[in-house]
Chains A and B, each alone.
Chain A
Amino acid sequence: MSTLPSAIVNQDEQYLVDNARRRKQLSIWFYFLCVAIALISVVILVVLMVSIWSQGQSRLTTDLLTRAHSELEIERSGMWPAILGSLFVCGTCALVALPLGVGTAVFLEEFKPTQKVLRWIHGFVQLNIANLAGVPSIVYGLLGLTVFVYMFNVFGQIRVNESAGMEIMGYKHFYQVLTLEPGHVVFAPQTDPTVRQITFDEPFQAVDPDGNPIEISIWTPGTPKPTDPEIRRRTVRSGAIGGTITERNWYYFRLPFDKSFLSGGLTLALVILPIIIIAAQESLRGVPSSLREASMGLGATTWQTVRDVSLPAALPGIMTGSILAMGRAIGEAAPILVVMGAAVAKSSGPQHLMDDAVTMPVLIFNWAGRQQDEFKELSAAAIIVLLVILLLLNSTAIYIRQKVQKAQS
């Protein structure tokens, strides 16, 4: 009693009224403070959007969506290869990170071990995942460089003129040699892949683009040179050198992955894996244990319970986490720069599994750093496109999630 003000103890009416008014006022002030704090972030977002829109809207043309980066016609530069590249990189990332992430979360939440040693391992994994979520993405970039791009050099190095690492499938090697007709080349099949260059001194068999053999004759300087373009196209100068070129199918596969979109996607998968695991764990934890117990009580195995009870119930939460994680993946520039480099002038999307790619954030980063005003405007326009694509992807995922939720209820 002694801690209360004497006015309360004495039931001083005037004091009680004043006190209540003061507290109510404070409460109102606090409410406005909260609104103001919440508005700050919205205001910043609006300022950002407006400034980017005002800078970039004049460059939002079909050229931007359909053409590639151009150094000579800046105003007609586009980001189509970057859009494709980002989709491929993020597609790879999703294909790898989602099953792995959800799988890990299921293991951590649904298969809690009882033995002491196993429990210790379990706790160790859990601790590591929490730590990994805080690692900066550039560190993952360096990891990806060693693990995916070079693979510790155990499969050999990729070197121009020497070796292409360990090629596994989807390739055919040819020797490419210039004919007497300027700009025209013929291809001779390669039999020994270790011989990267050969010299042609005698007539040989080459193949045309359809794979049919054609006879190639040799012209020795000093003898009459053929003039008919058709014959010149089938004649090679004596001593001409054929260098290796590789015909690659889309499923071309080799180790190490080099600076390919596959390396980029796998690295991004590492970046978002902890986020997906933690989100999936949280939503699995949110499934009432009564559901699981009911399932177990009916004689279902743990796997059956996970498959038919826990996972379906947790799916909306898992999808929300995955959407957020993919949003981060599509916007990451730092690890992509480290792993794939910044060859922004690429004019097409990836052609095969081992092809390099340019992604939207890397292109935006490059454009924003250029001195020409056109490029700065283009980078603002590209940011708008990136945001729209991000929104499209997210709303598709949210739509699917709603469908799932509806089907579930």
Chain B
Amino acid sequence: MFFQINSRSTPLTGKHTIGCIALASSLLIGLSGCGSKSDAPTSTESAAESGSTAAVSNLTGTIKINGSSTVQPIANAVKEEFAKLYPNVNVSVDGKGTGNGFKMFWDKETDISDASRPIKPGEFETCKDNGVEFIEIPVAYDGLTIVVHPKNDWVKSLTIDQLKKIFVAGDAAKQWSDVDPSWPEEKIEIFSPGTGSGTYDYFREVVIGKSEASLRNDMNLNEDDNVLVNGVAGNPYAIGFFGVAYYEESKDKLKAVEIVNPKDDKAYLPTPENIASGAYAPFSRPLFIYVSTASLPRAEIATFVSYFLENAPQLCERVGYVRLPDEIMQRAAKNLDEENTGTHYVDGEGNSRSGAVADIYQPENLTK
């Protein structure tokens, strides 16, 4: 009887084992198949068959990038073009957010940190404490767009003071009529990016500055910009803000508000021209990459960063951002060439500087 049970069940257990082995071996075969293309000194055959102007390089290595998810598309675009010339270099672009990116940067887990705002004094200090030196390179402009519902016919332009009334906690405006008595007596519904995003930080800095006040906490916060677009598009009394690239994609559903430039008291729309000329102030923000100088001697990093700098103006436009003036790109190239480390956005006393990138990104402002 025992043998009968035994013989009856043997084929099953046998098949089960084979199944396991098959699964295991298929996994291994898959691995070894891919392994042949590892990012190591591989043959230069591909160089010969390339018909393009530049020969394919045998440069190899791994580049680790993390940081702002706003900058991630630009870095991805550069990586994509870079890979056509240097196919053996493995560039990994993650987007955990500007703050998290800096954290990994000073922990020496990344070579390059993407940032949608300049480094903060505290972050700069920690980098110094950990012996991480970097070169600050602006790569593109992003305009922060303030949007309302298309049926909103009372708001044509807003001043910074009006924005303060709407967004700053404390005696914030509950209804539109609280901002301007001629506006409707309806509740203002606010949609804002999450507190962890560089966009929120940047908006807060522009509207509040260095004071202790904070943005009101009864806003609808969401990390997903699509939610913000739909939120504002669904309520005639809503207002919200996010990056200009998102507005470009949903122009038919939303209306951008003109912002009054405090310098000349004229209202400007966030058009690429106004952003590049600096007229759309103070809501046009520069995007940065921070390159660790410890990584720079590596051939793959040096090649990638100069490629980034050369091609950022064209590539950033293709992914929805605004190019920086050539003048600023030249200053950045000079900083990279001379390995001028440090940030322009923190002064000698450890206070942050704010203003237009053309004014701040000047050699005399560089703090090591």
List residues of A whose CB falls within 8 A of some B CB. 69-72, 84, 87-88, 91-92, 94-95, 98, 157-162, 172, 174, 176-178, 183-185, 187, 197, 207-210, 241, 243-251, 294-295, 298-300, 304, 307-309, 311-312, 315, 341-353, 356, 368-369, 371-373, 376, 400, 403-404, 407-408
Contacts and interface: CB of A to CB of B under 8 A. Distances in A.
A298 B16 contact: no
A214 B258 CA distance: 65
Contacts of A408: 9, 12
Contacts of B1: 294, 298
Interface residues of B, number: 82
B297 to A, nearest CB: 4
B12 A404 contact: yes
B109 A209 contact: no
B66 to A, nearest CB: 7
B61 A91 contact: no
A72 B58 contact: no
Given A174-B41, A371-B320, 4 more contacts: A91-B26, A91-B30, A161-B292, A351-B38
B249 A373 contact: yes
Contact of B225 (A88, A159, A349, A371): A371
Contacts, number: 207
Nearest to B315: A72
A240 B174 CA distance: 64
19 contacts: A71-B73, A71-B318, A72-B77, A72-B81, A84-B34, A91-B23, A159-B107, A178-B303, A243-B298, A247-B38, A250-B31, A295-B2, A308-B5, A309-B5, A343-B92, A345-B79, A371-B249, A373-B249, A404-B16
A162 B80 contact: no
A72 B319 contact: yes
B6 interface: yes
B40 A248 contact: yes
B211 to A, nearest CB: 32
Given A88-B27, A183-B303, A295-B2, A243 B297 contact: yes
Contact of B86 (A87, A183, A251, A344): A183
Nearest to A349: B34
B92 A346 contact: yes
Dominant secondary structure at the A interface = mixed
Nearest to A365: B224
A209 B58 contact: yes
Given A241-B297, A345-B76, A351-B39, A160 B110 contact: yes
Interface string B55-86: 10111111010100000010011011101011
A372 to B, nearest CB: 6
B93 interface: yes
B139 to A, nearest CB: 14
A70 B318 CA distance: 12
Interface string B35-47: 1011111111000
